[in-house]
Structure 1
Amino acid sequence: MLRKAVLWGTLVITVLLLGSVWLAYRATTIVSSLESASDLVAQLRKQVAANDKQSAVLTANKLQNSTIDARDASEDPIWTFASTLPGLGPNFSALAELARSADDIASLGILPLVNVYDSLDWEAFVPSEDGTNLEPLRSAAPVVGNAAYAVSASTERLESIDTSTLLPEVAQPLTSAREELRSVSGTIETAADASELLPALLGTEGQRSYLLMIQNSAESRASGGIPGALAILTVNQGRLSLGAQSSAGDLGVMDPVLPLDPEQRQIYSARLGKYMQDVNLTPDFPTAASTAQAMWEEKTGQKVQGVVSIDPVVLSYILRATGPVSVDTSKSDVFLAPGLPSQLTGNNVVKTLLSDVYQEIAQPKLQDAYFAGVAREIFVALSGGKADAKGLIRGLTQGVEERRVLMWSADPNEQSKIRKYKISGSITGPSVSGAEFGVYFNDGTGAKMDYYVKRSVQLTKQCSKNGYEQVIVRVVSTNTAPPDAAHSLPAYVTGGGHFGVSPGSVQTNVVAYGPAQSVIETTNEDGQRVAFSPHFHDNRPVGVYAVTLAPGESKILEFTFGKIVQHTEPNVAVTPSVQPVKDVTLATESAACS
């Protein structure tokens, strides 16, 4: 009996030792294969960036071989059994999931994308006189969509793993993989949405008409500036053209006022649905755009499939890609105005449109005509294929990041995808982070003085209070107009005092948004408590306060937000203006806490 017990004991020990050696061997295979895959991903990125498809395909195949080796090792019966053991079992399970996810991403995501990525050459989709061949993009859409799903599903699986029970040697690479996948997942999802949306948006399924609004930053509105020039932007098979041109003032008054969201009507008044000039008093661009569409159709009878908005800074980005354009003096007497440049470039177009034109042209209608004429010349250059592709993409991407390029589609399915991104200009929904603040500016002067206002916006994280976060939003505004602005600037620029603001001074309604479920506790101007107008918009607290600045004067406005339940890093969205956005939004500070 004793002999049998010894034999059985020896056998168990031997099996355990062999099992341990085998598991160690399998672990080494998994780790080395995943490390090799990681190195190959870095190599693949460089090859894709260099447009070296042949090398990229070879690397992608090597990458797939590495992830297959890792997955095979993790699906070994002994490894699978070890995953069920108490204590160390979750570590084996986590490594197995990491290997499976890596293989899914390589096989279902990366390799298919590499095989079609040359058809996703975004530079090939730049407008030209002959239109754009968007068929490769449409053909690639299913592949990109499947890749996005594979990456997203893998990301969700890895996010569900509890790292608190894992050994550091397992938890650390898992955490790194999660961070990498979050970034990759977002990029591929964007590519999937773009490949699905762009062909239709650019007219491959039939001609599309959009209402183009060029926001005039010299008179601020929450989403940028007053809608000065309006035009119909037509797209057909990638060809762009500008049709009927008008101005917000030409549309007149909506009577009766268009139906409005009750919360926004309370904050921004009925003007939101009464005048085209005021549709974007709200920072929520889907609201502004759908209202603008309704106004345009009511006044002109012309239906449009969406609304696109840009500002003069975006025009400067486009001009840097197309090169200078000449203003055609044969099309309107307004172009003969002295002092205005005969050529517009990326360096002079902003100052020309937002300042010089008011010095040289006295009549508002002719100012609008000049604005519209400049836009037409720029779009002629753009649609004629004169733009440097990389420069144009870089400029438009920057415009989207700075919230200067906005788009809304009347098609609910298209809009549901657009709404996920900054280009939607939404103040709620998937494009808005949980701890996002907003600071928006609406002109109260009734003039074009915002060209002279310089601002900065900064968040300061306060010490937590009763378990809640607390943040101060600081807005510093300076009127840089000359001391004699009341006399040296045209009355059309200063407002001439017609709206109760002294000529040369600037009045701005500052609108501050907090994260959902938070509250505005106090508002201070230059350190003194002041009364503000409190509201809510889609469960976000909103505070409105009017700041008036004489020439050369600066003021500091602070909104203190409390009871913030989001414990993520806060960020702030601001109204884009003449200033570079990076100069307006300062880095977040943290107060010293004991």
Structure 2
Amino acid sequence: MPATPDAGVRTEVRRRRTVQRRKILQRRSRVIRVALSSAAVAAVLGAATAWIGYQGLQLKDGLESASALLPQLKEQVLANDTAGASQTLAALQGHTAKARQAAGDPLWSAASLLPGLGPNLAAGAEVAKAADDIARLAAAPMIRAFGSLDWEAMTPVDGQISLEPIRNTSPSIIAAAKTVQLAHDRLESIDAGGLLPPVRDPLVDTRAKLNDVRLSLNSAAGAVQLLPAMMGGEGPRNYLVLIQNNAEVRASGGIPGALAVIRADHGKIRMEAQAAASELGAFTPAVPVDPAQTAIFTDRLGTYMQDVNTTPDFPTAAATAKTMWETRHPGQVIDGVLAVDTMAMARLLLATGPVEIPAGTVSATSSGALATRLAHDNLMKTLLSDAYAQLPDPEEQDDYFDAVARNVFNAVAGGQGSAEELIKSVSASAADGRLLMWSGRSQEQGIIQQLPIGGAISGPSVPGAAFGVYFNDGTGAKMDYYVKRSVQLIQTCTPDGASGYTAKVTLTNSAPLDAGTSLPKYVTGDGNWGVKPGNVRTVVAVYGPAESELSEASLNGQPAPVGSFRQLERPVGTMTVQLAPGESATTEVSFDQVSRFEAPQLTVTPTIQDRAEVVQAMRSRPCA
């Protein structure tokens, strides 16, 4: 029976439905396959992410644990505690190996190539590698080198220092310093600007701690490189010593009122001469000095020995002092210049023990009004206060200061007291800027200028975010014994990638209210420089980092004029503060365009106060 038209239609409908069902099934199959594939990929990515996260925690834990041990290791090395340092090092190496292993994972390395998160992972890996390199390649040789040092042999005995132990340890210490320097340079090359806080913050912290270790180790390496030759191992050397009196402040510490010449010959040291700076008189015309510095500190910088260190740049002060001495002493050659302040001398007595000043040295010692037995706890008061009260004659003051300096030198040169404590005292003074060094030989100065002991305000020893606050007396007297100071860096809020910083400086005149009449005229200045007796005038110079800009200044919270200069690319702001007895004042000098990702470092003029008392912890000022 032939098919009807309706049957044909029904057949075509069934065929179409069949085709449609097949397409639906095919689509569902594809969706299922895609879903399964996506799930698999998601699972793999999730697992990879979880694994990278786990390795990140391992790296973070390892680095934080290692970082916490660095200060302890440094103290143990400086204390010559070889056993304790070796134990600490073993623990530290375990932590850094753990961090390096985490950062060396294949997934971590592959992910480091990706955009976005990749640079953060790469930066974390660099921190881990640097830390492990230091632990494995630098710390152990350093500990062995310091442990092998004969501390007694390195200190003077009967005026003689044995140079051989220094030469023997030199290679190990220099190699360790180079390893740390390379690690430091690797971390400094990382651009922290685009990193996430969990990576950026540990990087900045590690940089700061590593820089502390680097500076200490570079100082040790510089010392073992320099000392044999500078101690006359290759021929006699003459050094001019500026003895800085903190009672009249200068940028590098205090007025160099007393001078000495020390001769070193194959490790044997002796004091050749002493003099008062005033004996050299005025230099007319002035000794040529960098015009940028005379613009800030006037031509007194090259006119009087007492003012050579109104600049905080010690290489300038030292070279000027050398020229002045050699001009006044024809035929004498000065090979280098050292500067020590009163606190540094007091610290030496911690190691040597007290020194005796012969009664009758000056009238006040004969009468018993002035101490003849000086120790760490009374030297500063005796030199910076009592001497002026008991010795109105400046010539007698000079005689007494000369006697003190000579006897402290003899105690050190004679090997009196503890050798290890002597090295600690010298190291502490160098770290605080109370001991400075300059060499007239370019090769040696090239090493010194890389170290904090060189006292330079620019160059390889000065970090990118360096700030400096320096003081110069404007009273023309000895009133700075009564001035108390505090200095604080304040980070200000800016919306861009740079930061602003403000140096907050507070000065207080703690002299008695009747200082104008109760203190000796030599101490108050008797108004000779236009300052009312009992008052104190101080010129404050604040240095910002190179490439930053001086923005504003205030005095006691009110806008105030500020002298604006540049020295060796660094902006400088100067302000003058005058205080009556019991009065305080606070100045603030602000700088813009400072890198947010560099840890700022602050240098301050050494005064009669400990640095820890003067320099306050940095704080941040909230955004408005």
Q: Using structure 1 for the length normalisation, give the TM-score.
A: 0.81
1:378 pairs with 2:405: no
1:241 aligns with 2:270: yes
Q: Does 97-106 or 65-74 show the bigger shift?
A: 65-74
**Does residue 155 of structure 2 align to residue 126 of structure 1?**
yes
User: Quick check: 1:456–1:584 contact (8 Å CA) kept in 2?
Assistant: yes
Task: Name the structure 1 match of 2:550.
Answer: 520
* Aligned residue in 1 for 2:590: 560
1:293 equivalent to 2:322? Answer yes
Instruction: Give the one of 391, 398, 404 matched to 1:368.
Output: 398
Find the aligned partners of 1:266 and 1:102 in 2 and give their Cα distance: 45
**Corresponding position of 1:574:** 604
Q: CA deviation at 1:341?
A: 0.9
Equivalent residue number for residue 17 of structure 1: none
Query: Is contact 1:286–1:426 with CA below 8 Å preserved after alignment?
Result: yes
1:139 aligned onto 2:174 = no
Residues 225 and 110 of structure 1: CA distance in aligned 2, closer, same or farther (over 3 Å): closer
Q: 1:486 to 1:413 in 2, by over 3 A?
A: same
Does residue 265 in structure 1 map to residue 289 in structure 2? no
Does the residue aligned with 1:265 lie in a helix, a strand or coil? helix
Q: What secondary structure, in the 3-state scheme, does the structure 1 residue paired with 2:508 have?
A: strand
Q: 2:463 aligns with which of 433, 437, 450?
A: 433
1:537 corresponds in structure 2 to 567
**For 1:227, what is the secondary structure of its paired residue?**
strand
The aligned counterpart of 1:476 is 506
306-315 or 455-464: bigger deviation: 455-464
Query: Match of 1:415?
Result: 445
Q: Which moved more, 1:578-587 or 1:161-170?
A: 161-170
Matched-pair identity in % = 45
1:161 is displaced (CA, Å) by 8.0
The equivalences for 1:216-365 within 5 A come to 216-301=245-330, 302-329=332-359, 335-336=365-366, 338-365=368-395
Distance 1:185 1:535 in 2: 31
Please tell me whether the aligned partners of residues 77 and 85 of structure 2 are also in contact (alpha carbons under 8 angstroms). yes
Partner Cα distance (1:438, 1:258) in 2: 26
Equivalent residue in structure 2 for 1:510, among 540, 553, 571: 540
Select 2:230's aligned residue among 182, 187, 201. Answer: 201
**Alpha-carbon offset, residue 534 of structure 1:** 1.6
Does residue 586 in structure 1 map to residue 609 in structure 2?
A: no
Matched residue SS, 1:379? helix
1:372 deviation in Å? 1.1
Deviations 1:416-442 (A, max 9, x none): 221222211111122222222222111
* 1:483–1:90 distance in 2 versus 1, CA, 3 Å: closer
Change beyond 3 A, Cα 1:545–1:102: closer
Q: Could you say what the CA RMSD is over the residues aligned between the two structures, in angstroms?
A: 4.3
Q: How far is 1:335 from its partner?
A: 4.2
Report the Cα distance in structure 2 between the residues aligned to 1:74 and 1:547, rounded to whole angstroms.
54
Name the SS of the counterpart of 2:227 in structure 1: helix
Are residues 1:496 and 2:541 paired?
no
- The one-letter amino acid of 2:237's match is R
What residue number does 1:6 align with? none
CA apart distance, 1:360: 0.9
- Per-residue deviation, 1:295: 0.2
- Go from structure 1 to structure 2 and tell me whether the alpha carbon gap of 1:59 and 1:388 turns closer, same or farther (over 3 Å shift): closer
Q: Which amino acid aligns with 1:561?
A: F
Query: What is the aligned length?
Result: 566
Q: Does 1:396 align with 2:461?
A: no
**C-alpha distance in 1, partners of 2:380/2:518?**
20
How far the C-alpha of 1:65 sits from its partner, in A, is 13
**Distance (whole Å) between structure 1 residues aligned to residue 454 and residue 231 of structure 2:** 17
Q: Assess if the C-alpha contact under 8 Å between 2:497 and 2:596 holds in 1.
A: no
Instruction: State the SS of the aligned residue for 1:132.
Output: coil
Contact kept, 8 Å, 2:360 with 2:366, in 1: the verdict is no
Aligned partners of 1:256, 1:126: CA distance in 2, in Å?
Answer: 43
Would the aligned equivalents of 1:128 and 1:239 in 2 still touch at CA under 8 Å? no
Cα distance 1:422–1:69, how it changes in 2: closer, same or farther (>3 A)? closer
TM-score by structure 2 length? 0.78
Distance (whole Å) between structure 2 residues aligned to residue 470 and residue 64 of structure 1: 38
- Cα pair distance change 1:211/1:171, threshold 3 Å: closer
1:340 maps to a residue whose letter is L
Residues 333 and 588 from structure 1, CA distance in 2 versus in 1: closer, same or farther, beyond 3 angstroms? same
Which amino acid letter does the alignment assign opposite residue 284 of structure 1?
D
Q: Which runs of 5+ in 1 are unaligned?
A: 1-23
Secondary structure in 2 aligned to 1:190? Answer: helix
Any conservation in 2 of the 1:337–1:361 contact (CA below 8 Å)? no
The answer to whether residue 215 in structure 2 is matched with residue 214 in structure 1 is no
Instruction: Measure, in 1, the Cα distance between the counterparts of 2:84 and 2:553.
Output: 59
Q: Is the 8 A contact 1:471 1:562 kept in 2?
A: yes
| TM-superposition CA deviations, 1:115-144 (whole Å, max 9, x none) | 544443455412221522221221332333
Per the TM alignment, residue 520 of structure 1 is displaced from its structure 2 partner at its CA by 2.4
Deviation at residue 476 of structure 1 after TM alignment: 1.5
- Is the 1:84–1:90 Cα contact (8 Å) retained in structure 2? no
Q: CA deviation at 1:85?
A: 11
> Aligned-pair distance for 1:523?
2.1
Q: Report the residue type matching 1:205 in the other structure.
A: E
2:220 — aligned with what? 191
For each residue in 1:169-201, what CA deviation from the matched residue of structure 2 results, as whole angstroms up to 9, or x when unmatched? Answer: 999999999888666555443332222112222
> Paired residue for 1:547?
577
Q: More displaced, 94-103 or 525-534?
A: 94-103
**CA distances 1:260-281 after superposition (whole Å, capped 9, x unpaired):** 1010011111111011011111
Q: Which amino acid aligns with 2:442?
A: P
Shift in Å at residue 90 of structure 1? 10
Amino acid of the structure 1 residue aligned with 2:166: L
Go from structure 1 to structure 2 and tell me whether the alpha carbon gap of 1:166 and 1:425 turns closer, same or farther (over 3 Å shift).
closer
Q: Distance in 1 between matches of 2:180 and 2:230?
A: 26
Per-residue deviation, residues 535-567 of structure 1 (Å, max 9, x unmatched): 111111112222111122222222222233454
Amino acid at match of 1:586: Q
- What is the alpha-carbon distance in structure 1 between the residues aligned to residue 546 and residue 479 of structure 2? 33
Query: 1:98 Cα shift?
Result: 9.1
Give secondary structure in 1 for the equivalent of 2:494.
strand
Which residue identity is paired with 1:243?
E
1:101 deviates by 7.2
Tell me how far 1:403 sits from its aligned partner: 1.2
Instruction: Give SS of 2:430's match.
Output: helix
What SS does structure 1 have at the residue aligned with 2:447? helix
Given the superposition, is the C-alpha separation of residues 136 and 496 from structure 1 closer, same or farther in structure 2, using an over 3 Å criterion? same
Moved more, 342-351 or 42-51: 42-51
Distance 1:441 1:86 in 2: 51
| Alpha-carbon offset, residue 486 of structure 1 | 1.6
Shift of 1:375: 0.6
Q: How many Å separate the matches in 1 of 2:333 and 2:409?
A: 21
- Cα distance between partner residues in 2 of 1:550 and 1:501: 10
Superposed CA deviations along residues 55-94 of structure 1, whole A, max 9, x for unmatched, are: 999999999999999999999xx979x9799769999999
Whole-angstrom distance in 2 between the partners of 1:492 and 1:226 = 14
Q: For 1:554 and 1:48, locate their aligned partners in 2 and report how far apart those are by CA, in whole Å.
A: 42
Residue in 2 aligned with 1:21? none
